[in-house]
Amino acid sequence: MIPRRVILKTSKMAKEISVKNLPTRLPVGITVLIWLMLDKMNASDLTYGIAYTLVVMAWIGAIYKMYNRETVDLFKDDKNK
């Protein structure tokens, strides 16, 4: 069995791109999923209205987020190397 301190010394932290630096993801998949689910369940008009209201709010939020963001150059330090 390898001692725990050896594992911590040899392992490196994984580098990830922050979610705020990724492009905005439009809610296309969830829109189709909700439409298919409601159609399969033979949902009432009230259920369709509530679901589509939430979907429209998600689309408005995604579009707002897409056009009101600040771009950041992730690799600005690597250009000098």
HSE, CB side, 13 Å, CA atoms: give it for residue 69.
15
Alpha-carbon distances, residue 68 vs 5, 23, 28 (angstroms): 45, 12, 20
Determine the pLDDT at residue 15.
66
Residues 6-60 have pLDDT tens digits of 444 555 666 666 666 777 789 999 999 999 999 999 999 999 999 999 999 999 9
Looking at residue 22, the DSSP 8-state letter turns out to be S
CA–CA separation, 28 and 45 (whole Å):
22
Supply the pTM of this predicted model: 0.65
Of 65 and 9, the structure prediction assigns the larger pLDDT to: 65
pLDDT score recorded for residue 56: 97
At residue 6, the pLDDT reads 47
Tokens of 73: 């150059």
CB contact at 8 A, 59 and 27: yes
Rounded to an integer, what distance in angstroms lies between the CA atom of residue 33 and that of residue 29?
Answer: 6
